[in-house]
Amino acid sequence: MSAPALVAALCAGVAAWVLCGRDEAVRRARTLLAGPWQPPGPSGGVPGPRRLEMRAQAVLEPFRARFGWRLGRELLCLPPGLAIAGLTHSVVPAVLAAGAVPLAGRWLRGRESRAVAEERAAAVGALCAAVAGDLRAGLAPQGALAGVLLREGWPGRPALADAALPLLAAARFGGDVPGALRTAARIDGAQGLAGVAACWQVAVDGGAGLAVGLDRIAAALRSERDQREDLRAQLAAPRSTVLMLALLPLFGLVLGTGLGADPVGTLLRTPFGLGCLAAGGVLEWAGLAWTARIVRTAEAS
């Protein structure tokens, strides 16, 4: 394949990825917040770029459903494995790199999910504080909620759009705000909205002060975030120690090579070395899994 054709194919692939990587919630937010309805144009109301995007989504939807568009950074495990396989003339590094791709993808997805959940929790706390401030300024509860959602940009943030759209619709159009809050509280990281729903229900039914309850929820969420950050700071040193111990075998291989031996060749091209490599890999995985479980238990407590 010539260089221009290769560049064109690469650009087409990147364009398709970007088109289908857009979050559906952002488009729904634009629809919800759109202005008055306009009659469709000559081509059925769908512009040319939008039609191209819809066709690309239809073609690539099976792959999106299969991989969730998360197949990306974990593929970086393959180039080092292939390079080491070429240098050592052994297929073992390539096989290990291919096996590490799903494990790395699972770790990256878990890390991303935790980051999104923490972003939602922080946004819920900020929402409570902002709505309480607007209530004290004299705004109605529904108007304060809708105004804060728009001011904080919830509908345009992918991590918050799924929770923002039903809340915004209920607040703007006179819907069941407590019910929308309870539904949004089922999303990971937005559990604080369940307390907001309870405060909202009490304020409507019993006349209690909604701003006071929202302030208490915001303070509780801030305290929980501070505790989580303090725990992470305390666990940083053990994690660094575990990482250093996990990398010690690599330093041993480098040291042996520097002394004139051939530890890599022995491990990859002899039956005894392959057995030692398998046993060491199992022990390494067991140690990392055990340590990760201890850390998860400490974080959950």
Tell me, yes or no, whether 177 lies in a domain: yes
**Of 256, 82, 79, residue with least CA distance to 265:** 256
Task: Assess contact for 149 and 164: CB atoms under 8 A.
Answer: yes
For the segment 3-11, the average pLDDT, to the nearest whole number, is 45
Domain-terminating residue out of 199, 218, 237: 218
Tell me, yes or no, whether 86 lies in a domain: no
Tell me, yes or no, whether 53 lies in a domain: no
Q: What percent of the chain has pLDDT over 70?
A: 74
Tell me: pLDDT of 101 over 70. Answer: yes
At 8 the pLDDT is: 46
Tell me, yes or no, whether 50 lies in a domain: no
At 43 the pLDDT is: 41
Statement to judge: residues 123 and 198 lie in one domain: yes
Q: What is the distance between the alpha carbons of residues 40 and 32, in angstroms, rounded to a whole number?
A: 18
Statement to judge: residues 131 and 210 lie in one domain: yes
Tell me: pLDDT of 33 over 60. Answer: no
Taking all residues of the chain, what is their mean pLDDT, rounded to a whole number?
77
The count of structural domains within the chain is: 2
**Of 69, 75, 74, residue with least CA distance to 17:** 69
Task: Assess contact for 218 and 128: CB atoms under 8 A.
Answer: yes
Q: In which domain, by residue range, is 259 found? A: 226-300
Statement to judge: residues 195 and 250 lie in one domain: no
Confidence of residue 59 (pLDDT cuts 50, 70, 90): low
Tell me: pLDDT of 97 over 50. Answer: yes
Q: C-alpha dihedral over 128, 134, 139, 142, to 10 degrees?
A: -20
Statement to judge: residues 236 and 197 lie in one domain: no
Tell me, yes or no, whether 47 lies in a domain: no
Confidence of residue 219 (pLDDT cuts 50, 70, 90): very high
At 289 the pLDDT is: 86
Q: What is the largest CA-CA distance in the chain?
A: 82
Tell me, yes or no, whether 296 lies in a domain: yes
Token code pair at residue 36:
């008055």
Statement to judge: residues 232 and 249 lie in one domain: yes
Tell me, yes or no, whether 145 lies in a domain: yes
Q: What is the distance between the alpha carbons of residues 118 and 125, in angstroms, rounded to a whole number?
A: 11
For the segment 244-250, the average pLDDT, to the nearest whole number, is 85
Comparing 137 with 209, which gets the higher pLDDT?
137
Tell me: pLDDT of 45 over 50. Answer: no
Tell me, yes or no, whether 261 lies in a domain: yes
pLDDT tens digit sequence for 166-209: 888 888 888 888 888 999 888 888 898 998 988 888 876 655 68
At 249 the pLDDT is: 85
Q: Is 209 exposed, middle or buried (0-12, 13-18, 19+ CB in 10 A)?
A: middle
Statement to judge: residues 207 and 246 lie in one domain: no
